[in-house]
């Protein structure tokens, strides 16, 4: 164990982690919603191993599907060939996705799925029957997060993550994030949707002719701190994109695969985007796989002879990998067989009750929930909404205390994130929320344990 602990801190460079301060946490086993560490601790996986685990670790159906696929073929490139399981997955995604999304391009991460959509949209405007090559820009929201490739970072808007790379990025038109918890002075919560849609309409009226696409995280901007959009905002964005002739890219990497209570977040407002980006939970959190779904209109613009060079010159070695596709097919099977979305409704209601209690804490500025996605925002002053300084690491202190109570979670600054696997039991939900509550008490100095 000693060698692993040392090598973990000297050879392995962890994502979004200050290695000078990193303390090793090595997981050796997973079962259901639980993780077991190298030193024998059991921790409830309160954030689904970074928002991707769906049906729990070591689900027998998914395990068996991967093992069965290993007996056939482990990898087949999609550059000029295919595998049966990957074909079946493409067909199935087309069947269950919002209407009109008939064509699937596989890659290997959420950032890649968004990058694919950005490039497809750009190329579409040059190759459609009546080309509009002036459409070279994108519109995105403040504090958006769409991944860490240069294209996805360009449409992202989280300065803390992306400011360093600004000289490498392309310009993006940006609008304020439509938060219902942090509204401009004089705007009532009930008027928020109309207020933000009017801004959007004005921006498209002015710039629509030069936009390749609008990029949005439907319903929830997760990495921004679980920012919830006003009801009706997504539907309004779809209508305005149609009105102004602009393509809509829906990034459901985090909010798709049941997280919001429906398979896809877009379903909640009956929206069909021009591109739908999926990853994370698509394989149940087992293997890297991502998908970009689009329409026949987009697809047709890429058809032609070899000499016309309309091909989409983009690809990933492991895109559509058969093992990942097998895990994804099994993940969808489990949704059906275990009626995951039906049983999710009671869990969503149970989480809501816990959040209502947490909202009463004097240092909780707001609680935010959409389905089984939740954020608890810590503030220094509840009356004014004055935040804690980022450097105080209040969110991390909550998480450290929660781990003492057997729960593993990660914060977003001063926002404590709760996003357990959809398979979480009622008792496990209770444990998760109790640990978060104790963490808040300690991290804000409102208990004897602080």
| DSSP-based helix, strand, coil % in the chain, nearest 5 | 40, 20, 40
pLDDT of residue 447: 60
Helix (H, G, I), strand (E, B) or coil at 285: coil
CA distance 30 to 25: 14
pLDDT of residue 125: 98
Contact 418, 412 (CB under 8 A): no
pLDDT tens, residue by residue, 97-130: 999 999 999 999 999 999 999 999 999 999 999 9
pLDDT tens, residue by residue, 236-251: 999 999 999 999 999 9
For the chain, where do the domains classified as CATH 3.90.1150.10 start and end? 2-55+339-443
User: Is residue 121 marked as binding?
Assistant: no
User: Is residue 280 marked as binding?
Assistant: yes
Closest-CA residue to 145 (of 124, 126, 161) = 161
User: Is residue 284 marked as binding?
Assistant: no
CATH of the domain spanning 2-55+339-443, picked from 3.30.479.10, 3.90.1150.10, 2.102.10.10, 3.40.109.10: 3.90.1150.10
pLDDT tens, residue by residue, 30-75: 999 999 999 999 999 999 999 999 999 999 999 999 999 999 999 9
pLDDT of residue 450: 40
pLDDT of residue 448: 45
| pTM of the complete model | 0.96
CA distance 424 to 221: 23
Which of left, alpha, beta for 402 (phi over 0: left; psi -120 to 50: alpha)? Answer: alpha
Q: Which two tokens stand for residue 312?
A: 């989409």
For the chain, where do the domains classified as CATH 3.40.640.10 start and end? 64-337
User: Is residue 316 marked as binding?
Assistant: yes
Measured at the CA of 163, the angle between CA 21 and CA 206, to 5 degrees, comes to 150
CA 176 to chain centre: 19
HSE-up (13 A, CA, CB side) for residue 106: 28
User: In a structure prediction context, what are the per-residue pLDDT tens digits for the chain, which is 450 residues long?
Assistant: 789 999 999 999 999 999 999 999 999 999 999 999 999 999 999 999 999 999 999 999 999 999 999 999 999 999 999 999 999 999 999 999 999 999 999 999 999 999 999 999 999 999 999 999 999 999 999 999 999 999 999 999 998 888 899 999 999 999 999 998 888 888 999 999 999 999 999 999 999 999 999 999 999 999 999 999 999 999 999 999 999 999 999 999 999 999 999 999 999 999 999 999 999 999 999 999 999 999 999 999 999 999 999 999 999 999 999 999 999 999 999 999 999 999 999 999 999 999 999 999 999 999 999 999 999 999 999 988 899 998 899 999 999 999 999 999 999 999 999 999 999 999 999 999 999 999 999 999 886 444
User: Is residue 410 marked as binding?
Assistant: yes
Second-level CATH architecture of 64-337: 3-Layer(aba) Sandwich (3.40)
């Amino acid at each position: 164990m000693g060698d692993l602990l040392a090598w973990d801190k000297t050879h392995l460079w962890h994502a979004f982690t200050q290695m000078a301060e990193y303390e090793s946490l090595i997981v050796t086993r997973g079962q259901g919603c639980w993780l077991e560490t190298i030193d024998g601790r059991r921790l409830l996986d309160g954030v689904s191993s970074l928002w991707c685990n769906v049906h729990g670790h070591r689900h027998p159906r998914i395990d068996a599907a991967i093992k069965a696929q290993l007996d056939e073929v482990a990898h087949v490139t999609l550059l000029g060939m295919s595998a049966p399981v990957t074909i079946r997955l493409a067909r199935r995604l087309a069947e269950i996705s919002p209407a009109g999304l008939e064509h699937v391009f596989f890659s290997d991460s959420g950032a890649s799925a968004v990058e694919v959509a950005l490039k497809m949209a750009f190329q579409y405007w040059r190759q459609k029957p009546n080309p509009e090559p002036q459409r070279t820009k994108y519109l995105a929201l403040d504090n958006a997060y769409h991944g860490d490739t240069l294209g996805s970072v360009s449409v992202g808007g989280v300065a803390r993550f992306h400011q360093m790379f600004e000289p490498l990025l392309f310009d993006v038109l940006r609008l304020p994030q439509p938060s219902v918890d942090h509204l401009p002075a004089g705007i009532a919560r009930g008027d928020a949707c109309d207020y933000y849609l009017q801004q959007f309409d004005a921006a498209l009226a002015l710039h629509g002719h030069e936009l390749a696409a609008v990029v949005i995280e439907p319903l929830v901007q997760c990495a921004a701190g679980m920012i919830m959009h006003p009801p009706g905002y997504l539907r309004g964005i779809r209508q305005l994109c149609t009105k102004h002739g602009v393509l809509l890219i829906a990034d459901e990497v985090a909010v798709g695969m049941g997280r919001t209570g429906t398979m896809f977040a877009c379903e909640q407002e009956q929206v069909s985007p021009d591109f739908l980006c999926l990853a994370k939970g698509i394989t149940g959190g087992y293997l890297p796989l991502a998908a970009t779904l689009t329409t026949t209109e987009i697809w047709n613009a890429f058809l032609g002879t070899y000499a016309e060079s309309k091909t989409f010159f983009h690809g990933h070695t492991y895109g559509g990998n058969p093992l990942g596709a097998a895990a994804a097919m099994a993940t969808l099977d489990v949704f059906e067989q275990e009626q995951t979305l039906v049983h999710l409704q009671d869990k969503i209601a149970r989480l809501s009750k816990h959040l209502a209690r947490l909202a009463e804490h004097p240092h909780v500025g707001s609680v935010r929930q959409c389905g089984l996605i939740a954020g608890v925002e810590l503030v220094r002053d509840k009356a004014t909404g004055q935040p804690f300084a980022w450097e105080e690491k209040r969110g991390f202190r909550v998480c450290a205390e929660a781990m003492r109570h057997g729960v593993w979670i990660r914060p977003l600054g001063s926002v404590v994130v709760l996003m357990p696997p959809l398979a979480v039991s009622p008792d496990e939900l209770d444990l998760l929320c109790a640990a978060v509550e104790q963490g808040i008490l300690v991290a804000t100095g409102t208990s004897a344990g602080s």
